[in-house]
Amino acid sequence: MAAIVKERLEYLRQTYHEDADFLEAVRHAEHPDALAATTRTRAIIRTLAATLFPDLKRAITTNDALDFLHAAVPITYCDVVLLDGGTADLVERARRKLKGVRMAAVFSGRRGGVKRFLDYLETKPSI
């Protein structure tokens, strides 16, 4: 599955750089009208994937595909998620683009993030 996702992300990234219409569609996907016309899950997954498109110098690895899969659904449906540092950064970039779209609180394993994650779980009121 990771190989299929990696291949598709690479294809979409190449298309992003070669097809002006696709580039415009990716940019428009974050517009409030486009967000209103789709589901929260699709909006988050599209924007998270698009964070990988601009940098052609850095290859998308199988690990990137696994991290993408690991993050996409939990940040959409969970209240809090613990991710590795690189993936947490991608999620935060997507969050800035999707102002107002509810996403999980994200903690990174870097710089005391695991402790902050556990502290958050201990102090967050039950739902």
pLDDT at 125: 67
What's the Cα-to-Cα distance from 74 to each of 69, 77, 82, rounded to whole Å? Answer: 9, 5, 10
Q: pLDDT tens, 28-50?
A: 998 989 998 999 999 999 999 99
Q: How open is the CA angle 39-43-49, to the nearest 5 degrees?
A: 145
pLDDT at 60: 93
The domain spans of the chain are 2-123
Q: Where are the alpha helices (DSSP H) in 1-127?
A: 2-18, 20-28, 32-36, 40-50, 62-77, 85-97, 113-123
Backbone angles phi, psi at 106, to 5 degrees: -115, 130
Q: Which residues of the chain have pLDDT under 70?
A: 125-127
In the numeric block, the tokens 């998308």 are attached to 60
**Whole-number Å distance between alpha carbons of 85 and 106:** 10
Burial of 36 (0-12, 13-18, 19+ CB in 10 A): exposed
- 0.75 exceeded by pTM: yes
